[in-house]
Structure 1
Amino acid sequence: MKALVTGAAGFIGFHICEKLLGRGIDVVGVDDLNPYYDIRLKQARLARLGQGFSFHQLDIADHDALLKLGDGVEVIFHVAAQAGVRYSLENPFAYASANLTGHLSILELARQTSSVKHLIYASSSSVYGTGSTLPYSEHERADRPSSLYAATKRADELMSASYTHLFGLKQTGLRFFTVYGPWGRPDMAYFGFAEAIIAGRPITLYDEGALKRDFTYIDDIIAGIMGVFDHPPGDEQRHRVFNIGNHRAEYVRDLVALLETHLGREAITVSQPKPAADPVETCADISALNALCGYVPTTRLDEGIPRFVEWYQGWKRRPA
């Protein structure tokens, strides 16, 4: 089997590639290696992917270049995106290109490539906005986005639904909740907190860390993605959308306390009011994904954070 993974140098994409290669699946990886965060981290991820992996540096919005890679591909894992809620305030057109045109380019690739049997794509818990009932259910309204990033991810879901209706594409969208772990993204809060604690810089806690997030360890995320891969859509429901999270909301201040313990340093904290785009709490209803493939996250925050810290300390000790 041959799989195409977009965002292959990214956090989740890299781990998907590792898992697929471990199963003996040939992987074609695509990433534009943009400088949104340290390219050296992206390159280090790619360097760990060995036999059976081929890499192509290109922008997924370049449909002509992307189309050349579709030959023989049976499944597409589309996790490339311009991430980050706050960055969308600074560079909104990056989100239009990567998340809207890019997603459309992937849909067209799937439509025009006869070998493709299943498109699995990344959505986000941010589609629920700030006023949804907890825990977030796939049956909840998702038409009140509180950020441009959220609006683009919901638009991706709607584009996918239209392509299934028009062309019968079999697709699965996954609404990721706060993913963390080794090889993570430096723009994520837990990673930035670790860097600031080590450097002795203050960290900002909104509402004194009283916000709650459904922190989900990367290994649990990958287990859920592989569960979807192993249980593709049938003819009766060709387009599905699932939450993929931990079903456990935890205080941000507890995350910081764990980082302090395992880094061996105390954080300098500054409290600010919660930004309007941030929900007070996120929590995933994962019953639908559990019913599909038996998805049950097993990694508690007090297990996952020490694993991240161990990786992080090794990464910081690497030769420059």
Structure 2
Amino acid sequence: MNILITGAAGFIGFHLAKALGNTQNSIYCLDNLNNYYSTTLKLDRLSELGFNQIGITEETSILYENLHFCKIDINNLEELRKFVTKKRIDKIIHLAAQAGVRYSFENPSEYIKVNIGGFLNILELARENNIKHVIYASSSSVYGSNIEKRRLHEGDNTDNLLNIYAVSKKTNELMAKAYFNLYGIKSTGLRFFTVYGPWGRPDMAAYIFTKSILDGSVIKVLNNGNLERDFTYIDDIVTGILNICFSNNAELRDTYNIGSGNPVSIIDFIKTIEDETKIKANLKFVSMNKGESKSTNANTSSIRDDFGYLAVTEIHEGIKSYIQWFREYYCKN
């Protein structure tokens, strides 16, 4: 197949592209390399994939002969259209988005433009090019304040949203359903639950806590520590995406939870980092921010039953790998 990955310089996109390297498929990687966080980190990810001449022209990896990269913004419909049409794309894995819940408090318009406008362009190109399957990133944030049931199922209510990031992802799910009803474009939305691991973003908990512990700076712990997250290791996430991408299962749901199904309290997450670094954290307990969920816990029975997905990475194993990468990447000198 000819597979398009948007957001390929991002955290999940990078790992997915690497996993698809040297397969029998042609993988076309796109990213606009925006400056929401360090472009150096994004360029270093691309370098790990064998791309070193980043520009507006297409580049083939020097490490994986089936990987190709082009710098294109998903909001640039004409450039995107030229590329997709020329490459005869069979399947799209759409991971490009404006990420980060807290940044949506400050700049909501960016989420509407990129996450909704950009996704509309992806769906339109799928329609124009008769691309029958689009896999796209949704989020556990769509569950909002719905924490009455400890284990969140795809059929649970998603109407009480807490922030504009969640609104953008819920809107993506509605758009995808409309395009299926109108044009037969099958889409699979993946509700990611707190992904972490090597090459993760610097606005994520694993980075913030690790850096603070190593620096000796204060970690602000929200809701006085009464928070838990369904932390999911990146390798498990990639396995789930690949299982869906290459499945012949015709009876697909519209959306799937993809998480570990084993939530960890924020305090225990920090304690795991402390154990691995052998350094005690300096904690400051603060009240809850508006717009944040107190708990996330994925019911993953649907993706397990349909695609054999099972998260296998224990939190201590994942943190050990993350800390090793963090030190190698950030503590070189």
| Match of residue 31 from structure 2 | 31
What is the rounded CA distance, in whole Å, between the counterparts of 1:78 and 1:311 in structure 2? Answer: 26
- Alignment-mate amino acid for residue 10 of structure 1: G
User: Where do 1:101-250 residues align within 5 Å?
Assistant: 101-114=117-130, 116-132=131-147, 133-231=149-247, 234=250, 240-250=254-264
Secondary structure (helix, strand or coil) at the match of 2:21 reads helix
Q: What is the alpha-carbon root mean square deviation over aligned residues?
A: 1.4
Residues 5-57 of structure 1: CA deviation (Å, up to 9, x unaligned):
00000000001111122423221111111111111110011112132222121
In structure 2, give the amino acid aligned to 1:136.
L
The letter of the residue matching 1:35 is N
Which segments of structure 1 move beyond 3 Å, counting only runs of 4 or more? none
CA displacement at 1:99 relative to structure 2:
0.3
Q: Secondary structure at the match of 2:68?
A: strand
Within 1, Cα distance between the matches of 2:160 and 2:226?
Answer: 24
Farther off after superposition, 130-139 or 37-46: 130-139
The separation in 2 between residues aligned to 1:29 and 1:318, in whole angstroms, is 28
Output aligned runs, 1:268-283, within 5 Å. Answer: 268-283=282-297
In the alignment, residue 179 of structure 1 is paired with which amino acid?
V
CA displacement at 1:232 relative to structure 2: 5.1
* TM-score, normalization by structure 1: 0.95
Residue 205 of structure 1 deviates from its aligned partner by: 0.5
Distance 1:263 1:22 in 2: 35
The CA distance in 2 between the partners of 1:168 and 1:117, in whole Å, is: 7
The aligned residue for residue 48 of structure 1 is: 48
Is the partner of 2:20 in helix, strand or coil?
Answer: helix
Is residue 2:302 matched to residue 1:292? no
Identity across the alignment (%): 41
The alignment partner of 1:65 has SS state of: helix
Q: Distance in 2 between matches of 1:65 and 1:13?
A: 20
Q: Residues of 1 paired with 2:3 and 2:192: CA distance?
A: 21
Amino acid at match of 2:139: S
SS of the residue corresponding to residue 271 of structure 2 reads helix
Alignment partner, residue 302 of structure 1 = 316
Rounded to whole Å, the distance in 2 between the matches of 1:140 and 1:12 is: 26
Partner of 1:266: 280
The aligned counterpart of 1:97 is 113
List alignment gaps of at least 5 residues for structure 1. none
Counterpart in the other structure of 1:58? 72
Normalising by the residue count of structure 2, what TM-score does the alignment of the two structures yield?
A: 0.92
